[in-house]
Amino acid sequence: MKIQAINGFKDILPETVGRWQFIEQQARDIFERFGFQEIRMPILEKTELFVRSIGEATDVVEKEMYTFVDKGITMRPEATASVMRAFIEHGLHVQQPVQRLYTIGPMFRHERPQKGRLRQFHQLDAEIIGASEPRIDAELIAMGKMLLDELGLNVSLELNSLGCPVCRPPFKERLVLFLEQRQEALCDDCKRRTRTNPLRVLDCKKPSCRAVVQEAPSLLEVLCPDCDRHFAEVRTALEELRIPFQINRFMVRGLDYYTRTTFEFLTANLGAQAAVGAGGRYDGLIEQLGGPPLSGIGFAMGLERLALLMEQQDNRSIPAKDMDIFVAALGTTTIAFAGQLTHALRQQGAKAAIDYSGRSLKAQLKQAGRINARFALIVGEDEWSKGEAILRDMQTQKQQPVALSGSTEELARRLLAMVRTTAAP
Ligand code: ATP
Ligand code: MG
């Protein structure tokens, strides 16, 4: 019996990993332009951390977490809670009152696997802690948009405000009243959510529930003056940065800690998995986790969805991997020399390959072509005994003799210089 990977857990094969690396490099580059620093946290955290931050009555905590029940630990389902835990634990705000942090890594949720939905998936996550100005919200959103633009992805941006502990509770009560009068029309999940998490009913994807909430009261109309002003200023700041957006009063993020600004980057090209990235403000979270009363805002993007979209849109060419030089050793006597030379080439920084099999020249040149080597150094027994080898440009098929004089290091340097100057860019 062959052992296969677990359902919902996926290998990322060499042929696609180039796209992943490209996305990660673009992200690091852009995040650093905005002054972000990387942070890496463990995958396992105390279960309590996620229950207290994400919230007991959320889908993630209720049914999606991978928890070791006997040990009280959980494989992180998202990054924000862990970043906040680390931030508080190490008192990061003491060194630097405003922290801009990003992290890239795997997350785990027990969901039904589909295209763009896995049980181990990967997120790019960015957080700004300790700043509450609306322009910060706009700047963070603009950073996400910049990344999506540079990846060549066409996404729309939806924006909402979830209010704060002043204006949300009275709205919730009104919403519960509204929903209680329409229980018949709601799905089973939403019947339950009416009591446990009424806001979540607003973004249920079932058509029957959608029809009901069209008539529901809008939180945007009853925001407190502070939240209302904040939301207006975020919109203005986005307009100033020329970031197009749409207001979606039904958007409720699946995590309880959000306050005020929430947003999603959406695509029409991944079926039901429309959210490429999402985020929002979480002003009470750090205090709730035992830290200082600092505000924060962040987003997370799904790497699988970004990679799928890039593959579909195919409008951003990712440079193919190539090798500088392939050392073709012919006969048995040349192998030791060719091995030393290849090692020296690699020490000099060349991407060099070698075949120890002693196969025919034809077979070795074929291999050089397969790995996209730009040059092949052919070390034949006769030439080698005369202190010579042949450098072949794999593209033009032009060949030139190379004197094998001097130390291996000198030779490697000389070869590399030839390869670098002759190579077409
Ligand atoms: P969805 O509505 O698709 O379930 P979500 O609201 O649960 O998304 P978040 O928790 O906000 O998602 O995570 C942010 C991003 O992480 C999503 O926009 C998506 O790109 C990605 N993501 C979330 N869950 C998964 C998953 N199971 N598989 C792949 N990517 C995921
Ligand atoms: Mg989800």
Per-residue pLDDT tens for 85-128?
999 999 999 989 999 999 999 999 999 999 999 999 999 999 99
Task: Calculate the alpha carbon distances from 40 to 27, 31, 123, 156, 242 in Å.
Answer: 15, 15, 12, 29, 32
Please count the other Cβ atoms lying within 10 Å of the Cβ belonging to residue 328. Answer: 27
User: Mean pLDDT throughout 36-61?
Assistant: 94
Task: Assess whether the C-beta atom of 270 lies below 6 angstroms from ligand 1.
Answer: no
How many A from CA of 148 to the centre of ligand 2?
20
Task: Assess whether the C-beta atom of 275 lies below 6 angstroms from ligand 1.
Answer: yes
Q: Which pLDDT value is given to residue 255?
A: 76
Say what the pTM is: 0.92
Q: Hey, which bits of 109-258 come out as E strands?
A: 120-129, 156-161, 246-247
Among protein residues, the one with the nearest Cα to ligand 1's atom 8 is 275
Please count the other Cβ atoms lying within 10 Å of the Cβ belonging to residue 385. Answer: 10
More confident position, 205 or 243? 243
Say what percent of the chain tops pLDDT 70. 98
User: Mean pLDDT throughout 4-23?
Assistant: 95
How confident is residue 425, by pLDDT bands cut at 50, 70 and 90? very low
Q: Angle at the Cα of 327 (from 322 to 328), degrees rounded to 5?
A: 120
Task: Assess whether the C-beta atom of 280 lies below 6 angstroms from ligand 1.
Answer: no
Q: Which pLDDT value is given to residue 56?
A: 87
How confident is residue 423, by pLDDT bands cut at 50, 70 and 90? low
Q: What is the C-alpha separation between 81 and 285, in angstroms, rounded?
A: 9
